[in-house]
Amino acid sequence: MTYNFEIESYGINVSYKENNYLLRRFALLIAKWIEDAGESAEVLKGFVIRPEINEDVHNGDFEITVMGKTLSLCVGTYHGFEGFLSYLDDVLSSGKNCFYDGYCYKGNYKDKLNELTKSGAYVYEKGLYTRVMSYNVLWGHPDVGQRNKLQA
């Protein structure tokens, strides 16, 4: 089954094939980003944007492929998705339209970070004396009750 979010003012459709919470979140964020981008999003007019989670895409990476008026986005993690949005910001603010048939691009969320923000030391510098650690068990167990026990 395919799920769609249509941004009528731009004729842009964001769709995904699985009933997956993370893909739904990505689609909603893309739709919000396009609405917030205003006129700069005109280059995507008439496109179908298809986010996809692909475990073969390395952590933090994203891959864009354009075929006709379909922009496919593959990410491995949420970091890769954030990298994609940063990339869109750069492309659309520059005013150039690179989303032509056959266009491919691979990037990483770290592409926009500087040397300080790439380092582990930055996390500790910003955190000062407060440290919080969490264990992500969202996909660790299919049973919600067992996941809660793992988290506790």
137 and 123 within one domain: yes
Arithmetic mean of pLDDT over the chain: 80
Neighbouring-strand partners of residue 3:
16
CATH of the domain at 36: 3.30.160.230
Closest residue by Cα to residue 63 from 19, 109, 116, 131: 109
Same domain, 18 and 81: yes
Tell whether the model's pLDDT for residue 118 goes beyond 80: no
CA pair distance 112, 83, nearest whole angstrom: 8
Q: Are residues 99 and 132 part of one domain?
A: no
Q: Which two tokens stand for residue 110?
A: 């770290």
Q: What is the model's pTM?
A: 0.71
Check whether residue 121 and residue 148 sit in a common domain.
yes
Q: Are residues 79 and 132 in the same domain?
A: no
- pLDDT at position 104 is 96
Residues 148 and 96 in one domain: no
pLDDT per position as a tens digit, 85-98:
989 888 888 877 88
Domain span at residue 143 reads: 113-152
Q: Provide the domain count of the chain.
A: 2
